Amino acid sequence: MATSTKITPSSPRLASLLSDVERGNIKIPVFQRQYIWDDEQIVSLLDSIYRGFPVGSLLMWSTKEELKHERNIGGFKLPETPEDYPVNYILDGQQRLTTLYGVFNSDQNTLEPILADRFNICYIPDEDAFVHHLASGDKDKIHLYKILDTTKLLVELPRFNDTQKSKIAKLTEAFKDYEFPVVTIRDRSNKEVCSIFQRINSSGTPLSSLELLTAWTWSDKFDLRREIESLLDKLADKGYEKIDQNLLMRMLASITCGSINEDDLVDVDPAQLVDGMALLKKAISAAVDFLEGQLKVRNVIFLPFPIMIIPIVNFYAEISKPTACQLGQLRKWFWQCSLTLRYKAGTNRLVLEDLRKMKKVAAGHIPFDETLVKVKDDIFDSSWRINSTSAKAALCLMAQLRPKSFLTGSEVDLGNVLSAYNARQFHHIYPKGYLNNQGISFHAANVIANICFLSAAENNEISDKNPEIYFQEIPASQAKEIFDASAIPEEAREGKLPFEDFIKLRSRKLIEIGQMLIDTGVLQAPSK
């Protein structure tokens, strides 16, 4: 196989491995996580090596690729490598290598003295055991940082008896000669390394391409991981905490390279990635303002498909100050995508298709007027499940009507309802308990066309009342506005219709409103 030589196994001795670290030939790049091992893990690793047990392999990437920021190992300052000199970067095994280098250099100058002290482990020959130096007391002991340095070791040996010397000699030999399995990747593309990197587990946590990209793009003024984390925090403050790192990376890919695969970011020029991140921050802020201000969507969880936010972000990346016509195109796209469940199949292909159309909108075209699009005819007949795509599309539609309280006529607080996304904030217009008494099954009663917005308090108050009764409790002076805002057809406003007839009429009403949104992008005065 042509690529077989690109992955090379070897078994260098531990002393040689640590020497390579000392010379700067092995580095831990910034994309790796901070040191997290506890004291028990440190001692366990040392004991395993001493007894010749396997401790797992190291995975390294040998490359001349410049990773602009690398941490020194365990806080110990390491030399710079010559320009164009191949460096082995640790992809897996950071905790083990940091532990070993720290233990055998714990007496050296360090930027992290507390960590260095944790690495100061002693061997007690009379107990044949390893302990932290503070726990060794007055027992005969030797610090491990002395055993691989012959000069230091010879100074120490005279104070031990022959039995102790024999054990120390065995100890020294065990560590110097321990063969550490190493797998080295060479001559692989950035994307291949990224793919390998993503499949590795470190402390049980899957690593992502963000860590690798952070290393490639890092500078004193730009840290991609920190930029992403900061943006996630800002989105959470706005109620959009459900946008995650993966989705942000896909947005970044869409802006910088026209892809929605975050792996493709590894081939983007670092300078372009920095510019793309700045543009993403502006575009996503505008996208959230659009969703909240124009569509009443206060939480990304209400989008029928979370990935819908990518075309919206791209719209604002292309058009910082959209015209009324361009905003109309965006609204039409939103409703066409939502009310036809466009992304239910072939999602990635269709998203990319929509990204191309957003570029057309930026160029002054009207691509979302060019085809006849109809509301999915059975979307409101689907079962009501709060997390289903059909339910979310319906709720986005109903939010446009600015629903009102049935009992007071005050406007429902969509900010509260849509951010909490609590099932008690939605009401079965013909209550399930009432229908059950009429012999209508839960499945038949629990359809989207039977749902409206209602506060939890009013939902509890109405409970399972006959609609013919509780409709009479609606303030007469506001009844028309309240019914209109809940898309309840005029023929059904006395609550006397058989349930089946009510569902047919309300489903038709919702389709009529949805089609208006698809065709015009805005909600005009609803027909009766």
Do 442 and 515 reside in the same domain of the chain? yes
**Residue 369: inside a domain:** no
pLDDT tens sequence across 181-191: 998 988 777 76
Express as a percent the part of the chain with pLDDT over 70: 88
Do 214 and 114 reside in the same domain of the chain? no
pLDDT tens sequence across 11-21: 999 999 999 88
d(CA 248, CA 309): 10
| Dihedral class, residue 196 (left if φ above 0, else alpha if ψ from -120 to 50, else beta) | alpha
d(CA 115, CA 342): 54
Strands 142-143 and 182-185: unpaired
Q: Alpha helices of 340-455 — where are they, by DSSP H?
A: 347-362, 389-400, 414-420, 432-437, 442-445
Do 155 and 287 reside in the same domain of the chain? no
The DSSP-derived string for 214-238 is HHHH-BTTB-HHHHHHHHHHHHHHT
pLDDT of residue 202: 46
Do 318 and 387 reside in the same domain of the chain? no
Do 271 and 356 reside in the same domain of the chain? yes
Read off the pTM: 0.73
**Residue 219: inside a domain:** yes
223 pLDDT band, cuts 50/70/90, is confident
CB atoms within 10 A of CB 201: 9
Tally the domains of the chain: 3
Instruction: State which residues form the domain around 133.
Output: 4-185
d(CA 308, CA 343): 8
Do 180 and 244 reside in the same domain of the chain? no
Angle between helices 14-22 and 94-103 (to 10 degrees): 90
| Burial category of 121 from C-beta neighbours within 10 Å (exposed 0-12, middle 13-18, buried 19 and up) | buried
**Residue 440: inside a domain:** yes
- End-to-end C-alpha distance for the chain, whole angstroms: 71
Do 274 and 421 reside in the same domain of the chain? no
Do 177 and 298 reside in the same domain of the chain? no
341 pLDDT band, cuts 50/70/90, is very high
d(CA 65, CA 190): 9
pLDDT of residue 164: 96
Do 395 and 418 reside in the same domain of the chain? yes
Taking residues 20-34, what's their average pLDDT? 76
Question: What is the radius of gyration, based on Cα positions, of the chain?
Answer: 32
- The letter for the amino acid at 409 is G
**Selected residue with higher pLDDT from 263 and 179:** 179
- The letter for the amino acid at 32 is Q
Do 49 and 161 reside in the same domain of the chain? yes
Residue 164 near residue 126 (C-beta atoms within 8 A)? yes
- Three-state secondary structure call for residue 485: helix
pLDDT of residue 209: 66
d(CA 38, CA 270): 36
**Residue 190: inside a domain:** no
134 pLDDT band, cuts 50/70/90, is very high
CB atoms within 10 A of CB 506: 26
Do 17 and 162 reside in the same domain of the chain? yes
Helix or strand run (H / E) with residue 28? strand 26-29
Do 173 and 225 reside in the same domain of the chain? no
- On the question of pLDDT at 269 being above 90, the answer is no
Helices (H), strands (E): how many in the chain? 22, 13
**Residue 198: inside a domain:** no
